[in-house]
Structure formats: structure tokens, C-alpha cells
Amino acid sequence: MPTVQVATHRAVPGPAGSPSPERTGSAQAPAPTVTDPALVRRAVKAAALGNAMEWFDFGVYSYLAVTLGKVFFPSGNPTAQLLSTFGAFAAAFLVRPLGGLVFGPLGDRVGRQKVLALTMIMMAAGTFAIGLIPSYAAIGVGAPVLLLAARLVQGFSTGGEYAGASTFIAEYAPDRRRGFLGSWLEFGTLAGYIAGAGLVTLMTALLSPADLLSWGWRVPFLIAGPMGVVGLYLRMRLEETPAFAAEVAKAGHERPKVPLREMVTGQWRALLLCVGLVLVFNVTDYMLLSYMPSFLTGELGYDATHGLVVVLGVMVLMMVAQPFVGLLTDRIGRRPVIAAGCAGFLLLSVPALLLVRDGSLLAVAGGLGALGLLLVCFTAAMPSALPALFPTRVRYGSLSIGFNVSVSLFGGTTPLVVTALIGATGDVMMPAYYMMAAAVIGGFAVWRMTESAGRPLPGSPPSVEPGKHRENA
């Protein structure tokens, strides 16, 4: 097998006169890896772009749901059309764990860079294909079948995307800046969603309903093709992460073989922590960014356009705060920041939702803005905290499994479950109670996790910036 080389990262020997292992009776600390700032920046951009493309599709699909229902699911019942469209959307969540089971172990076997290039191709192809599918009027039932197939391809590839992208950044970043650099992953998420939703909003304003229905809806999906090419180019230019390269070298230049059982039963405690952290992260994320526009319109009778604009405004606010909170996690730690988010959702979910229920634009913006800033505690900290739960040997695989199981069971089902709870109880405060319950689970996970800020990733040597290796030697 060929070896994996990382020419722009180098191990730096300790200072002259360091005691040998024989004299000290213990193994000498591994030499730190000195990072290349230019390569680290390229790694962050390449990883964040994949997340941006995933959520670009998310924003486009959500904002075009009514139009897509008319194109692919003709029916005299608009509600049935919308449910069918979101059913195809939700199908992608069903295959995410399967994608994680395939791509995660593969990333630990052949390398992070190769698998992330593959997931980029599949995501772009799935989104681009939706823009090419003929309508129901043209080919009948084949249209929704093809839409479902494209969504399954997207969901399958997404199963390996987030865990791989966060692992990629974490393994490239110097230990003292991992939180700041990791925060740009979710910056890409927010940027992608805003771009997708904003493009649809612009097209809706510029095109007539007939033009949007006949051809306009295809344009946002077709844009995924060029975006995928750019993302693939960026990812193919990168070398393998230094942590994975060191793992291969340690195994005698044989690609490491890790049984699936070791990724699950061998990491059961870390997997449970991962599921708990991802639960609070994704329940609050999907509640705010996916469910709240529907809640404002369906439950509170709020104007749909204004509701969407307010949520987009909250996302812009989150983008501004994202890197600063990421930097804060490097200064004070991941645990305090995540714990603050959990405490905030536990204490402020009810007051924030009461503000939203007030109905005035200022109150709605204030309530959602408060929830958005609390959510940044998770979006800024999780990309660096989650990879640090697992050792290098199984990091991609174990994180993919834990992350996708939690997202599929709890995050993606949040809008459906909350809608059902409101219907069963008649209590429109259910979104607040659901977020509070998630915050309790997340708080317990934070209590049990180990602080990782400023420390090497498990199974990897220290990673330092140029000029800092002497003080870390």
C-alpha cells in the first residue's frame, strides 16, 4: 500500500539534552506537529464549503416546498402535496446513519481527504439531479420516485459529511486554536442556508408564479453543480491530515484496519456522550431554524414572509457571533460554553417563546434572537468538542455513527414531534418544554465529558503553530 505523506506538517524534536526514555524510565513525550497556517486555512475552507452546500440544499428545498409539491405531487389537496414533499425530504434522514456506517469506517481506513472528496461529489450530484428531474406532468409517477432517489443519495452522502469535516478541521488545527477554526464549519452551515433561502426568496420576487413553477424552481438546484466542482477542487488540493498520516506510519505504513465493533462497543461511553451532546445541539438547531417559521405561521397566525425574514436575520446574527464564541471556547474551554448554552435553554426557553407569542415584530425578533445566541454556544463549540471524544484510530467512524444516530432520532424528528405534541395537548408552549428537556440531557453530557480545549486530540501528538513549538516541546 502507498504511504500517506504530509509534507507541510512536521514533527519537531525536543530541545537538546532532553533525558532519554532509558534514563527516565518512561516513554519520551511525542514531538509536536507544527502546522502550516496556509494549509490549515485551505482545510477549513474546503470543509466548511461542503457543509454550506448541504445546507444550501436544505434552505432551497424548505423554501420551495410548496412549489415542489405542485411539480412532483399533483393533487387537489395542497396539504397532501406539502406532506408528500416533506416526506421525501425526511427520507434523507432515514439513510443518514447508513451513510455514517459506510463513510465513517472508510474514513478511518483510507483517509479523511478521500472520503470527503467522495461525499462532496455525491452531495453535489444528488442536488444537481433534482434540478434535472422531469415533472409529474411529463413522466407521471416516475417523477416523485426520482426525487426520492436523489434525496436518498443526498442523505447517504451527508451521513459522512459533518463527522468527516469536523474531524478534518480538528486534526489540522493547532491545539490552542481548534475551537476558533472549528467554528467556521457551522459558519458555512449558516451561510449555505441563508444563500439557499435568500436565492429562492429573490427568485420568488422576480419571477411570476407560472415561471417559477415551470422552470424557475430548477435554477437553485442546478447551481449545486458548479458549487460541487469548486468544493471538490478545494478538497482534492489538500493533503491527508497529520493525525491520520501519523496513524498510518505508526502501523508500519499499512492502512489501519478497525473493526466496526471496536468503533461502537469499544467506545460506548464516548458514543453516549456524543449522542447526548448532538441531541441538545440538533434539537435546538432544528427547532429554531426549521420549525420556527412554520410555528409562527401555523400556530400563531404570523405573516409567513415576515417570519422567514426574521429567522434569516437571526441566522445573520449567529454568523457574526460564531467565530467570537469559537475563540472564547479556546480561552475558557468547551465545557463552560456548552454548559452555558444548556443552562440558557433551560432557563430562557419559556420567556423567549412568550416573547415570540407576543406577535409584534420586535418581540418575535427578540425572542428568536435570544435563542439564536444560545444556539451559537453549541454551533461554535461542537465542531471541536465532538472529534475530541474519540481517539484518532476510530475518530471518523465512531463520530459518524454517534452523530448520525442522534440526528436521525432526535434532530430531524423535532418538527414532527413538536407538532404532534401541540396537537395532542393544545399547548403551544411545547417547543419551549422540548428544548428544556434537551438542555437537561445535554447538561448531563457536559458534566460527564472531559475538557479538550488547548489539549492534543486523543491518540495524537501536540499540534502547535509555527514558532510555538519551543514552548510546547
Asked whether residue 41 falls in the same domain as residue 185, the answer is yes
Specify the pLDDT at position 473: 44
Last residue of a domain, one of 189, 222, 257: 257
Using 50, 70 and 90 to split pLDDT, how confident is the model at 303?
A: low
pLDDT in the model for residue 3: 39
Domain count, the chain: 2
Tell me how far apart the alpha carbons of residues 428 and 353 are, in angstroms, rounded to a whole number. Answer: 9
Cβ–Cβ < 8 Å for 377, 183: no
The CA distance from 310 to 307, in Å, is 5
Maximal C-alpha separation, the chain: 83
Q: Which residues pair with 10 in a beta bridge?
A: 34
Q: Looking at residue 76, what is its pLDDT?
A: 65
Could you read off the pLDDT of 174-212 as tens digits, one per residue? 999 999 999 999 999 999 988 988 888 888 888 888 898
What is the pLDDT averaged over residues 272-301?
86
Phi, psi (rounded to 5 degrees) for 402: -60, -45
Q: Are residues 434 and 370 in the same domain?
A: yes
**What is the C-alpha end-to-end distance of the chain, expressed in Å?**
33
Torsion of CA 262, 264, 270, 274, to 10 degrees: 140
Same domain (yes/no): 381, 324: yes
**Residue 305 confidence (pLDDT):** 67
Give the domain extent around 319.
Answer: 260-451
Give bridge partners of residue 460 from the DSSP assignment. none
Q: What is the CATH number of the domain that holds 442?
A: 1.20.1250.20
As to burial, measured by CB atoms within 10 angstroms (0-12 exposed, 13-18 middle, 19+ buried), residue 264 is middle
Side chain identity, residue 63: Y
Residue 277 lies in a domain: yes
Rg over alpha carbons for the chain, rounded to the nearest Å, is 23
Q: Residue 17 pLDDT > 60, yes or no?
A: no
Are 155 and 46 in a shared domain? yes
* Residues 437, 325 within the same domain: yes
Residues 86 and 114 both lie in one domain? yes
Same domain, 170 and 309: no
Question: How high is the mean pLDDT of the chain?
Answer: 84
452 vs 464: CA distance, rounded Å: 15
* Residue-by-residue DSSP string for 3-27: ----TT-EE-PPPTTPPPHHHHSSP
Q: Are 171 and 242 in contact (CB under 8 A)?
A: yes
Residue 457 lies in a domain: no
Do the domain assignments include residue 471? no
Collapse the DSSP code of 239 into the 3-class scheme (helix H, G, I; strand E, B; otherwise coil) and give the result.
coil
Nearby residues of 57 by Cβ (< 8 Å), 6 or more positions away = 123, 127, 154, 196, 221, 224
CA distance 255 to 233: 25
Compute the distance between CA of residue 128 and CA of residue 123 in angstroms, rounded to an integer.
Answer: 8
Query: Is 459 part of a structural domain of the chain?
Result: no
